[in-house]
């Protein structure tokens, strides 16, 4: 029998929020360990047979070893990304909660087309809704991650429950 440890939901959420188009999150399905690896580091690992370890500084070697663990241990799987969360839909849902219809229309217009996220953040700042948005977004991301971890049968500690 495999001794499963638990992932901490707060660590998974933190990794999801840190991910971007150049940094990817991974979780070990048995231990719950969460790691972040940059695209550059993954490429360095993939080129090791050509470059060798001697061409890297100590700190680079440490990060490449993290990429090596992620690639070579089949228990590591990719975390979902912001795209999997459908953050645009989360923004739309948030807008439906705005009581003032004129303000609601203003927000809907702001999220149309390229640059929607930046315009949305500007509107939040202009109308003092930053804190409400961040709380709402955090609740939605957390609920998404709970469901995702359960679907992957990854044991986790819900250290974000109040």
Q: Is the pLDDT of residue 2 over 70?
A: no
- Gap between the Cα atoms of 72 and 53, Å rounded: 17
3-state helix, strand, coil in the chain (%, to 5): 60, 10, 30
Mean per-residue pLDDT, 78-106:
94
pLDDT value of position 62: 95
Grade residue 162 by pLDDT with cuts at 50, 70 and 90: low
Mean pLDDT computed over every residue of the chain = 93
Strand partners, 36: 25
* Share of residues in the chain with pLDDT > 90 (%): 85
pLDDT value of position 161: 81
- Supply the pTM of this predicted model: 0.85
Edge-first strand listing for the sheet containing 76-78: 34-38, 23-28, 76-78
pLDDT value of position 4: 67
Domain boundaries, the chain: 7-80+147-157, 83-139
Grade residue 1 by pLDDT with cuts at 50, 70 and 90: very low
pLDDT tens digits for range 24-69: 999 999 999 999 999 999 999 999 888 888 889 999 999 999 999 9
Q: Is the pLDDT of residue 77 over 80?
A: yes
């Amino acid at each position: 029998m495999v001794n499963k440890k638990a992932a901490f939901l707060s660590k998974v959420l933190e990794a999801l929020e840190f991910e971007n188009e150049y940094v990817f999150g991974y979780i070990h399905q048995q231990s719950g360990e969460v790691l972040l690896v940059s695209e550059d580091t993954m490429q360095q690992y993939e080129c090791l047979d050509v470059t060798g370890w001697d061409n890297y500084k100590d700190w680079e070697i440490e990060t490449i070893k993290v990429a090596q663990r992620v690639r070579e241990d089949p228990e590591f799987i990719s975390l979902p990304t912001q795209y999997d969360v459908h953050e645009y839909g989360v923004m739309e849902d948030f807008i439906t909660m705005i009581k003032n219809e004129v303000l609601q229309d203003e927000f809907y217009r702001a999220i149309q087309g390229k640059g929607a996220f930046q315009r949305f953040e500007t509107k939040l700042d202009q109308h003092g809704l930053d804190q409400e948005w961040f709380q709402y977004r955090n609740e939605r991301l957390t609920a998404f991650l709970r469901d995702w971890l359960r679907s992957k049968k990854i044991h986790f500690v819900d250290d974000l429950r109040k």
